[in-house]
Amino acid sequence: MKNPILALIPSGYKNGKVYSVLPVDGDGDFDFFRFGDATRVKENGLIETIVGSNNPRLNWSGDCPSLLMEGASTNLQIRSEQFDDAAWTKTRTTVTANEDVSPEGTETADKLECNSSSVLGMRVRGSASITSGSTIVLSVFAKKGNATYCNLALFNDATTDYSSIFFDLGKGTSFTPQTTGSEITLIDNSIESFTNGWYRISITCETSGNTTVRPYIYGTTSNGNFTVTQGDYNYFWGAQLEEGNYLSSYIKTEGNITTRALERRISTTLNGQTQFNKNQGVAFIDVKPFPVDASDVNGNIISLVGGTYNRILFRFRTSNVLEFYVNNAPAPAIVDYDLAHNGGRIKAAIRWNNGNYSVFANGQLLNSYLNTSRFFTDLETFQFQQSTSLYEFEGEVYEIQVFDEALDNNEILKLTEL
């Protein structure tokens, strides 16, 4: 199989640039833009703050790094690492600050210990202002102490309606989800393992009629209820409450709510090279897209474009739909194919070859099209957006390749195998 003309396997970067593997002369390096700091997971599993604007993040969520691209998000819960602060109301709970090594490798994790036995539980409670009707993701890093379980809950302002779920910090599982009332509805939860016994636990809730919500973090020794005994304890660090429909990378707060800015304008034009082959080629992506909000009708896009109308799009839409879209004019699309996928990592490709088009995903040929009357006039830019600052891709990028010849079916099927 011929080498691609452009290959991005995230492995190196400098300020404002993500290096491509091919071409080797740097002409295919991607521009990168973000204001301010953001966090990533390092190869050793610890969380690290990437300091300074325009520094890309190589994130280790598995065996190899990915280029992490996220939308803007604001941690609406202040004092995210300071449960001893007055921002957190304690009930039957004594907080000992900086008692354990945190997921970032510093001794900043707090011990939350029960100071009075009760069937009503030990807890800390925060508070945050939200946009009425927004979807909220609440998360915190938790580690087992002598107590095995904890519970994460989101209450409405009046504390009458709530959603909650228990987590087993020994097994890394969640159980007994509960929603009471109609204003806070549980729609998802997750528990993700980190180093040194830490888990990042989260709940995603739809809200209605509230501009204030109250995150609750409970420790408990019992399986499925809130019963605690004096002396029970767990460790916690890094609480985050954000609007949006996916759990984003950790954003530290102190006395202010804090925004991590959007990553955008990530593109390459093969500077100094000829354009991508407009007559035949293959665009291949290996990515894990983040969920797209139902209100975002245009989705998040990876594209190969040129001129005014030429575009080959991988458009990630709401409800885990990947739309393959090819067009070269203000007219009905040449290719428009929707694939419902499972929301996880996906390998997909689009092939164009003198009027023949095919779309592939996860080792399967999905569909083919013939249109010999319309051809691209230019294909000059590969980018993680549709146009400049429009519908930026949000997710993890493992690999990108663009070929300047039409590979055969077997080559693309092998390339897109998961």
Which residues of this chain interact with other proteins, rule CB under 8 A? 33, 35-38, 49, 51-53, 72, 74, 127, 129, 131, 158-159, 211-212, 251-252, 255-262, 265, 298, 308-309, 311, 330, 386-391
Are 81 and 98 contacting, i.e. CB atoms less than 8 angstroms apart? no
Nearest residue (CB) to other proteins, 52 versus 231: 52
Q: How far is the CB of 314 from other proteins (least distance, A)?
A: 16
Q: How far is the CB of 53 from other proteins (least distance, A)?
A: 7
Q: How far is the CB of 409 from other proteins (least distance, A)?
A: 31
For 275-363, list the strands marked E by DSSP. 280-289, 300-306, 310-317, 321-327, 335-340, 346-353, 356-361
Nearest residue (CB) to other proteins, 214 versus 278: 214
Are 137 and 152 contacting, i.e. CB atoms less than 8 angstroms apart? no
> Among residues 386, 268, 269, which one has the least CA distance to residue 327?
386
Are 302 and 314 contacting, i.e. CB atoms less than 8 angstroms apart? yes
The SS3 call for residue 74 is strand
Q: Count of CB atoms within 10 A of residue 142's CB? A: 28
Q: How far is the CB of 7 from other proteins (least distance, A)?
A: 28
- 384-399 exposure pattern, b = at least 16 Cβ within 10 A, e = fewer: bbbeeeebbbbbbbbb
Nearest residue (CB) to other proteins, 52 versus 272: 52
Q: Is the dihedral of CA 90, 197, 346, 285 positive or negative?
A: positive
> Among residues 156, 276, 143, 148, which one has the least CA distance to residue 223?
148
Nearest residue (CB) to other proteins, 127 versus 362: 127
Which 8-state DSSP code applies to residue 20?
-
Q: How far is the CB of 407 from other proteins (least distance, A)?
A: 28
Count of residues making up the chain: 418
Nearest residue (CB) to other proteins, 252 versus 347: 252
Q: How far is the CB of 261 from other proteins (least distance, A)?
A: 5
Q: How far is the CB of 75 from other proteins (least distance, A)?
A: 9
Tokens of 145: 């102490």
Nearest residue (CB) to other proteins, 71 versus 145: 71
Q: Cα separation of 75 and 337, whole Å?
A: 37
Q: How far is the CB of 411 from other proteins (least distance, A)?
A: 32
Which residues, 6+ apart, have CB-to-CB distance to 397 below 8 Å? 8, 10, 66, 67, 69, 285, 286, 287, 384
Nearest residue (CB) to other proteins, 11 versus 212: 212
Nearest residue (CB) to other proteins, 146 versus 308: 308
Nearest residue (CB) to other proteins, 383 versus 401: 383
Nearest residue (CB) to other proteins, 6 versus 305: 305
Integer CA distances (angstroms), 63 to 66, 212, 335, in order: 10, 40, 35
The SS3 call for residue 204 is strand
Q: How far is the CB of 296 from other proteins (least distance, A)?
A: 11
Q: How far is the CB of 389 from other proteins (least distance, A)?
A: 5
> Among residues 416, 383, 368, 410, which one has the least CA distance to residue 276?
383
Looking at the DSSP bridge assignments, the partners of residue 305 are 311, 381
Q: How far is the CB of 129 from other proteins (least distance, A)?
A: 5
DSSP letters, 36-60, are: S-EEEE-TTS-EEEE-STT---EE-
Nearest residue (CB) to other proteins, 49 versus 193: 49
